Structure 1
Amino acid sequence: MSRAFVKEDGGADTLPERPVSPNRNLVTRRGLVLIEREAARYREALASAGARGDRDGAAQASRELRYWSARRANAEPVDPPQQAEAVTFGMAVTLEAEDGKRRTFRIVGEDEAEPKDGRIAWVSPVARALMGKWVGDEITLPAGEMEIVAVDAAPEAE
């Protein structure tokens, strides 16, 4: 095979772009800080990779920087209303099952979601089931019926 048709370098410059969600980019104040930190981290990584002549590292950092810059550019910070009792974006919601077990979820932006820590994206099925509900309402989750026993509009620490 002719060498004219073989790509010689590692190919990091052909990394696919990270997909950007088509949904509105709602973020909590904490989420906005996290996005800005990621953008700063990848700006530094890009500069460092460039200084070392690391093309693969520069390509990866550049891709991440493009993603986080786009997310920052279209971020819509949302603060939950202080007096609301209905579940909205940014609130923490405590649910109780029939057996007395409790679970708390905070409804956050897509990039700040960490389900294992109780932070769920506002576009997730559980968050959608909770939005607009009130203390005392029941919802059906894969784990079974649960009652909303508390809502907390206080923002999460950055």
Structure 2
Amino acid sequence: MSKAFTKETDADGDEQDGLLPEIPAGAKNYITPQGYARLRSELLQLIDEERPKIVEVVHWAASNGDRSENGDYIYGKKRLREIDRRIRFLTKRLELAEITDPAVHHGHDQAFFGATVTYAEESGQERTITIMGIDEADTAQGQVSWVSPIARALLKAREGDVVKLVTPLGAQEIEVLEVRYPAPPGLTR
């Protein structure tokens, strides 16, 4: 039989089918304490709650006899594979995680991991982004991964610096207007 018709293993796709970028070779998986807590919470919820429920459904469905036409069994096994793949992914990412608290830079004007940076493009348009970890960045919330081109251009820049941003449309200069960090716990502004 041709290899084209064989079933792929469950281990394939551990990088979540390309939904999240891979960590660059030799780089650390920087993450905020809040991001780490969210990933860990998801992992524990999958292990302690969701997976046992699905195992119970699959066990019940298997006891009903013919599995070839048993929707509960077929769906349950598929869902178990998805859960196990996500558990493996989260476990790997958490093992590689380097927790970095952006609050340690509170009051500084240089952009590091966790900074919220306001910058002006050549057109004069101002944008604000927060530099986050690969596994926690949400572009809809104005968060970008620290490995993204804009974050790479802004990292280590100070307020007032003009940096070069290389995009598919060509290079442009952007000016750093403001750099902010969250306040450490217990410190009010």
TM tier, shorter chain?
Answer: 0.7 to 0.9
The CA distance in 2 between the partners of 1:125 and 1:92, in whole Å, is: 15
Per-residue CA distance 1:30-75 (angstroms, 9 max, x = gap): 2112211321332232222111102111111011011112212221
Partner of 1:45: 50
Partner of 1:75: 97
The CA distance in 2 between the partners of 1:14 and 1:27, in whole Å, is: 27
User: How does the TM-score come out when normalised to structure 2?
Assistant: 0.68
Q: Note the C-alpha offset of 1:14.
A: 2.8
Q: Note the C-alpha offset of 1:90.
A: 0.6
Structure 1: runs of 5 or more not aligned? none
Partner of 1:16: 12
Single out whichever of 86-95 and 138-147 deviates more from structure 2. 138-147
Contact 1:12 1:60 in 2 (8 A): no
The 3 A distance-change label for structure 1 pair 12 and 65 is farther
The match for 2:178 among 147, 150, 155 is 150
Contact 2:10 2:85 in 1 (8 A): no
Q: Does 1:33 align with 2:57?
A: no
Structure 2: runs of 5 or more not aligned? 16-21, 59-75, 184-189
Q: Note the C-alpha offset of 1:101.
A: 2.2
The CA distance in 2 between the partners of 1:55 and 1:149, in whole Å, is: 53
Q: Which amino acid aligns with 2:42?
A: E
Contact 1:96 1:146 in 2 (8 A): yes
The CA distance in 1 between the partners of 2:164 and 2:10, in whole Å, is: 44
- 1:94 counterpart SS class: strand
Q: Which amino acid aligns with 1:50?
A: V
Q: Note the C-alpha offset of 1:146.
A: 2.0
The 3 A distance-change label for structure 1 pair 146 and 127 is same
Per-residue CA distance 1:101-158 (angstroms, 9 max, x = gap): 2111111110011223211111112111111100011123348432111001116xxx
1:58-137 to 2 correspondences below 5 Å: 58-80=80-102, 81-137=105-161
Contact 1:95 1:103 in 2 (8 A): yes
Contact 1:90 1:153 in 2 (8 A): yes
- What percent identity do the matched residue pairs reach? 28
The CA distance in 2 between the partners of 1:98 and 1:67, in whole Å, is: 40
Q: Note the C-alpha offset of 1:15.
A: 5.2
The alignment of Structure 1 onto Structure 2 pairs a total of residues equal to 149
User: How does the TM-score come out when normalised to structure 1?
Assistant: 0.80
Contact 2:107 2:180 in 1 (8 A): no
